[in-house]
Amino acid sequence: MSEYVVLSYFDIALASVFLLLNGALSLWLRLGIARNLAFAMVRMVVQLLLVGLLLKSLFAIQSPWLTLLVALFMTSFAAREIWARQDRRLKGWRGLAIGGGAMGASVGVVALMALIVLVQPDPWWSPRYALPLLGMIMGNAMTGISLSLDTLHTALNREQRAIEAQLLLGASKWQAMRPFIRQAMRAGMMPSINGMAAIGVVSLPGMMTGQILSGVDPNEAVKYQLMVMFLIAGATGMAVMLATLASAKSLTDMRDRLRLDRLSKRK
């Protein structure tokens, strides 16, 4: 088995040349994204450098409580990102609780099953395995929930009169909102479906590529990638369903009235 190639910071700087070229072209074409691109690039570098230092310390300490604390921080940050990415979002605590709760429940169950039953590290909560696995699953679930809730809230706001007309004619809230709930769920699951359909033909995923570059046998890398993709798609699907149904319920009351006053538009 060959050793992995060690990259220098100069190599990383060279890899960023094309992204800097994109920024220069966006300025020339007046796309209006140069500032966002630069901010995202700097934020990515800072965050990953800090994460590298944090993970190195966690791997050395091997504390279950610190691992749990980092997992809870990741969940809280992801819940805030879900809420922030929606054009129309629920006001107050519901906006954070629904997305974060659905994601935490589904990702937590799937990650625990993967660690205890499939990967079986010793100890099972080892941060070297738990945190990267949790991060991969959570990142995809976060995207799915964001898309589903944004689609649902936008559709309900756009079709408010049609929904209320059905309610006046005697339909239940679930009957009136069913097409839009289905639309939201499809939107949230589509990235995972597209990812599974294209993997291996159109793209080689980052985890598999990293393992191959570090000298792991390609067949073993494929096995790990299949496991991760199944876990990601399963957790994302459950999280999308839970979040969409919970949000739809929060936007109605006990008398089956549509309560879009509970939504606020992003400024």
Partner residues linked to 199 by β-bridges: 203
Which among 44, 61, 78 is the end of a domain? Answer: 61
Tell me: do 140 and 237 sit in the same domain.
Answer: yes
Distances (CA, A) of 154 to 149, 170, 216, 264, 265: 8, 24, 45, 11, 10
Distance CA 19, CA 36 (A): 12
Say whether both 191 and 131 belong to one domain: yes
Q: Are residues 242 and 111 in the same domain?
A: yes
Q: How confident is the model at residue 241 (pLDDT cuts 50, 70, 90)?
A: very high
Residues 156 and 200 in one domain: yes
Please check whether residues 32 and 148 belong to one and the same domain: no
Read off the pTM.
Answer: 0.81
Place of tokens 């070229």: 21
* Residue range 187-230, pLDDT digits in tens: 999 988 888 887 766 666 666 677 776 667 778 878 888 888 89
Among the three residues 38, 61, 84, which one is the final residue of a domain in this structure?
61
* Residue 139 sits in the same domain as residue 27: no
Residues 50-90: tens digit of each pLDDT = 888 888 888 888 888 998 998 899 898 888 888 888 888 88
CA separation for the pair 105, 103 (Å, rounded) = 6
Of 61, 76, 104, the residue that ends a domain is 61
Euclidean distance between CA atoms 135 and 199, whole angstroms: 19
Same-domain status, 52 and 6: yes
Examine the domain organization and report whether 71 and 7 are in the same domain: no
The pLDDT score that the predictor gives to residue 267 is: 66
Q: Say if residues 79 and 100 touch (Cβ distance below 8 Å).
A: yes
Average pLDDT over residues 111-139: 88
User: Does residue 39 share a domain with residue 92?
Assistant: no
Through-space distance between the first and last CA atoms of the chain, rounded to whole angstroms = 54
Number of domains the chain is built from = 2
The pLDDT score that the predictor gives to residue 61 is 84
Task: Print the domain residue range for 90.
Answer: 64-265
Clarify whether residues 100 and 206 are in a common domain: yes
Q: What are the Cα distances from residue 217, in Å, to 6, 200, 213?
A: 19, 16, 10
